Structure 1
């Protein structure tokens, strides 16, 4: 649209420009206030002239440029530069147009954006630290290729440790996919930078004992996560200002370096100061406060490593007194440089700290010398668990969709491509096989699961993420068919609860009915009358408690009369998501006495075990 003449805009173009959820006014109020003419256009709301629509698409790009480019010429690699000061001028910290915007200006702003994007990799490649030559300034790390929550790809049951009592989906467990996501990321990194990475940020800092082996096998030296994970790991009470050793075995005290790596933990206090606390401070005030906070950790008796990890895209656009955080960053680096010269605070990359740098008098801190954590707590930097991506009904249904597609892909016999390989020639069966696996890996990404459930909500609505996730799931089948596999493509309706035709996230795949036998062990509680089951389906009384009575009399699927294990057999369509819970001898419509988790529901995804049946074994009051 930026390159399309504005006078040719269609109604659809107009909707994308200023009406739809993700439109050209999707920018923070803090940033918008720095461009008064842009803000005035947003305030008008609609009925824009052609000239105004041209300005909207221009501002949409210009507002995201670093203010340095708006103030004058900035040198770029390859004898290029970027200078937008002929288009805007600064007055009292705000930018105004110098001229009436033309289509040529809109074309130019795209070209300038392209130049900056094309400069990102060369600049970082030039600054990369090389542990072998001790040259360079920054360490570039990577993350699993499609940003999956790696421990959950390894096994969703890892959440049983960090989320006890949370309803979980049918186990999704594909360690080979987790390994492929890591290997693909490393191959991509090496293709771009000409070297292998030393460090890894597992997506969302999600770690577990299980993934250590994958990291070690891929020659990763260190990884990072949140300090909440450290606080729950063993041994307890470890300080956040040290790196630690983790290995792939389950034995404490084994110091075999061949299966070990380092893990560093995000200092939440320092990181959140930059990310969230300095928005109302001047650059100098923020830098002084940060330096004071760092020096508090100093010790004359030992080296300490403080790890600052930002939620990168969120910080600078909210700095109200400091455009883009420029004053803060310049002041911080100036003060840190002075402290480094004085030998009080040494800035290092993590690989530099571990391997040492004699040119900067940084001694090595080998992984073998680090204190061991055994076991490493499974969790992410958010809540030290995985509840953002798993546990709510929508999230669990998404995992069931994923499992259905993954099983079909494996059943199809299409061989998995080498993770480090690149795409075969387009149009060949090998190409379509490659694409089927790529769609699978993409569907394993974390962001789809992030937006499902009530705990997160996109400002423009969750529908685009739901559509994207299901398009990847369907892509697995579509490319598998083109690769020669005989697969039936199911209908995967919207997972979003309340969306028309969702059926609660039920896949309309076939009319096959499955006999589900629910059993509830109530031997540890007094049962005056009976155990009842209630849920979100008419067969389960549509959430009216104490209507559907279970049996402990040897009938209706109950195995043994009077053993305290209550049973009921109910038929549901295959691939149906069912939410339910149990109550104990209450009156119809009254929840008490019931299970002691009023907010959470149990959930199953109906699957045929091959005999037309499915067995559920539950314990009253425990999930």
Structure 2
């Protein structure tokens, strides 16, 4: 048993892909602002409430830009009545709540996209409105007999259900609107927009303020969240899965240059919002390879992190598993950067199991696991709990309020557990274990199977390869102005994001697959048009459908494939 407290790093990754049609500026999906008002404000409020708590919070740069855009749009509407380019959010301010029957059906459909047990059924009025909306969806002619008040009330309730628990407990405006229950006026709907404006405009400053005080560490991912190892060398997917089927593309053209672009743009964007350069990088999806760590070293990052199975695969490759704990920083012999590895078991308990437990029991169980690790540690250890910072909480009662409150408070007070950050661990000179070899992989299963290998995912890569070749041809011709080149580079980055490939495949839910593959085809089409090229005809056709029912709707994965 070590004399030092067990160091624990809680790392929350905040990430949404680019949901805008970059040609029109319209948000095609509302998840960025909904997660702001529910999850990002709740997480920072929990951290603010326990001064001795610490955590690492990672932001995808393309998410930061969308938060800023939403904040500016809502402000512009409230001050100058400039239209908001998000159909669901703008519906709050529509005086007639849209008289168009198709638009009304779409609103009723969209206002049911919430956790049924935790967000809808929690409120009897919202549950009743939802049941009526479901009936209307199966009897669509009835939409002509539905009045505007019904539409207004379900839109209001949808946004109230998505409000963070800390907002519901502290904002008297939200409390009044919940208490009112029905008959919401245009004034009420404008008031919700004002609440959303306040949350959007302050949320990033609140994180920045905690970082300045040393209470959290902020870190970054590459700009649009690409899978860097696959861009650097697509064959790296074979290191953890030798039989994986690669796309016909085989190699992403100019991948190293694009990785450098994403990292440089990501750091630039991060610095724009927070005023300093990050010390650490959570590579998109914890995806790492030896080449990736070398690039991160060149960019000056002091730490990176990945999944526990990446470490296990790497230790197995050099016969170090039997004598090496995962609870340390590691350093690849060929790259001067420390790498921390996720404790998949503990992280997945939070993500998939504790939502079914009483909050006090769940926190006690987690602490028991940590105490067991401390009991068997003979040297300074660092446990890394790394997980999605936004999608788990809707499965908990009250958006995880009771669990997170108890978690931070009990950990901060625990005599044998020290909440810390990755950078603080390095500043305290915790010895890194040298790693002779790194087997490429991600935090999901230790492989890249979530993003490549499936026929539909490979098709997506081949489409991306086609547009990249068109991009390279047009750029080399010198046909683009400096301004148009910058737009095309950014649009290419959006196409290179990991999220599109995450959702391709029939094991995912049909509606989510449809939403993301449509957005992907739109992104590729927009890039061809920016290049002055005619989009291929295949972009007019859907190429992947889903019919699965994965846990948590497919928005999260377990670190291990088999439990």
Normalized against structure 2, the TM-score is what? 0.73
| CA-CA distance at 1:384 after TM superposition | 1.0
Change in 2 beyond 3 A, CA 1:274/1:397: same
Q: Find 2:188's aligned residue among 102, 105, 109.
A: 105
- Aligned residue in 2 for 1:575: none
- Aligned residue in 2 for 1:490: 536
Secondary structure of residue in 1 paired with 2:219: coil
| CA-CA distance at 1:345 after TM superposition | 1.1
Change in 2 beyond 3 A, CA 1:462/1:99: closer
- Aligned residue in 2 for 1:4: 94
- Aligned residue in 2 for 1:591: none
- Aligned residue in 1 for 2:106: 16
| CA-CA distance at 1:411 after TM superposition | 1.8
Change in 2 beyond 3 A, CA 1:488/1:153: same
Does structure 2 retain, via aligned residues, the 8 Å contact 1:6–1:53?
A: no
Secondary structure of residue in 2 paired with 1:263: strand
- Aligned residue in 2 for 1:158: 236
Would you say how many aligned residue pairs link Structure 1 and Structure 2?
434
Does structure 1 retain, via aligned residues, the 8 Å contact 2:475–2:485?
A: no
- Aligned residue in 1 for 2:301: 220
| CA-CA distance at 1:15 after TM superposition | 2.4
Residue 207 of structure 1 pairs with residue 288 of structure 2: yes
Structure 2 portions without partners, runs of 5+: 1-90, 137-141, 546-563
Rounded to whole Å, the distance in 2 between the matches of 1:494 and 1:462 is: 16
Rounded to whole Å, the distance in 2 between the matches of 1:394 and 1:7 is: 39
- Aligned residue in 2 for 1:574: none
Does structure 2 retain, via aligned residues, the 8 Å contact 1:395–1:452?
A: yes
Residue 197 of structure 1 pairs with residue 285 of structure 2: no
| CA-CA distance at 1:100 after TM superposition | 2.7
- Aligned residue in 1 for 2:6: none
Rounded to whole Å, the distance in 1 between the matches of 2:474 and 2:413 is: 62
| CA-CA distance at 1:56 after TM superposition | 0.8
- Aligned residue in 2 for 1:241: 327
Q: Find 1:345's aligned residue among 397, 417, 420.
A: 417
Q: Find 1:71's aligned residue among 169, 189, 198.
A: 169
Change in 2 beyond 3 A, CA 1:415/1:338: farther
- Aligned residue in 1 for 2:401: 326
Looking at secondary structure, tell me which structure has more strand per residue: 1
Partner deviation per Cα, 1:37-82 (whole Å, 9 max, x = no partner)? 1111111122443211100111121111122322334xxxxxxxx7
Q: Find 1:32's aligned residue among 120, 130, 141.
A: 120
| CA-CA distance at 1:489 after TM superposition | 4.2
| CA-CA distance at 1:8 after TM superposition | 3.8
| CA-CA distance at 1:412 after TM superposition | 1.8
Of stretches 284-293 and 345-354 in structure 1, the one that deviates more from structure 2 is 284-293
Does structure 2 retain, via aligned residues, the 8 Å contact 1:270–1:308?
A: yes
Rounded to whole Å, the distance in 1 between the matches of 2:393 and 2:526 is: 37
Rounded to whole Å, the distance in 2 between the matches of 1:491 and 1:301 is: 62
- Aligned residue in 2 for 1:267: 343
| CA-CA distance at 1:200 after TM superposition | 1.2
Which structure's CA Rg is the greater one? 1
Looking at secondary structure, tell me which structure has more helix per residue: 2
| CA-CA distance at 1:127 after TM superposition | 0.3
Matches within 5 A, 1:554-573: none
Does structure 2 retain, via aligned residues, the 8 Å contact 1:394–1:496?
A: no
Rounded to whole Å, the distance in 2 between the matches of 1:35 and 1:139 is: 36
Structure 1 portions without partners, runs of 5+: 74-81, 90-96, 130-134, 250-258, 357-363, 417-427, 482-486, 500-623
Q: Considering only aligned residues, what root-mean-square deviation do their CA atoms show, in Å?
A: 2.1
Rounded to whole Å, the distance in 2 between the matches of 1:474 and 1:308 is: 39
Does structure 1 retain, via aligned residues, the 8 Å contact 2:111–2:158?
A: yes
- Aligned residue in 1 for 2:522: 471
| CA-CA distance at 1:34 after TM superposition | 1.3
| CA-CA distance at 1:488 after TM superposition | 5.3
Residue 454 of structure 1 pairs with residue 512 of structure 2: no
Partner deviation per Cα, 1:82-109 (whole Å, 9 max, x = no partner)? 74222224xxxxxxx3563111111111
Normalized against structure 1, the TM-score is what? 0.66
Partner deviation per Cα, 1:148-181 (whole Å, 9 max, x = no partner)? 1111111211112222122211223311111211
Does structure 2 retain, via aligned residues, the 8 Å contact 1:394–1:497?
A: yes
Rounded to whole Å, the distance in 1 between the matches of 2:468 and 2:170 is: 52
Change in 2 beyond 3 A, CA 1:40/1:98: closer
Matches within 5 A, 1:386-535: 386-414=448-476, 429-458=481-510, 460-481=511-532, 487=533, 489-493=535-539, 496-497=542-543
Q: Find 2:151's aligned residue among 53, 59, 63.
A: 53
Does structure 2 retain, via aligned residues, the 8 Å contact 1:166–1:391?
A: yes
Change in 2 beyond 3 A, CA 1:8/1:468: closer
- Aligned residue in 2 for 1:92: none
